[in-house]
């Protein structure tokens, strides 16, 4: 019985590691697009920029892009 539980635990641990790897791969692919969008959003007038959720110009461009990428990726794992 103990060997079955250990095997189940190892499989679960491998699956978790695989999901973490997939998350960072997706983050690496999505982040440049979000960064480009954040840069373009900075060129908009402030009243138009405030209508874009997460791109209000209150944080650095890199932080806004990181928050945008982090907010859309978890939907891929549902």
Tell me the pLDDT of the chain (78 aa) as tens digits: 455 555 555 577 887 788 888 889 999 999 999 999 888 888 877 776 666 666 666 778 898 889 888 888 877 666
End-to-end CA distance of the chain: 32
Structural domain count of the chain: 1
- Residue 51: predicted pLDDT: 60
- Residue 32: predicted pLDDT: 95
Minimal CA–CA distance to 32: which of 73, 70, 69, 74? 69
73, 38 in Cβ contact below 8 A? no
Helices (H) and strands (E) in the chain, counts: 3, 0
Per DSSP, 55 falls in state -
Task: Give me the domain span that covers residue 35.
Answer: 2-77
């Amino acid at each position: 019985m103990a060997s079955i539980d250990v095997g189940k635990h190892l499989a679960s641990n491998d699956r978790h590691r695989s999901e973490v790897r997939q998350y960072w791969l997706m983050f690496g692919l999505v982040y440049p697009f979000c960064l480009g969008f954040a840069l373009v959003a900075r060129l908009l007038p402030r009243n138009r920029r405030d209508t874009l959720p997460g791109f209000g110009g209150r944080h650095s461009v890199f932080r806004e892009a990181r928050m945008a990428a982090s907010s859309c990726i978890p939907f891929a794992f549902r």
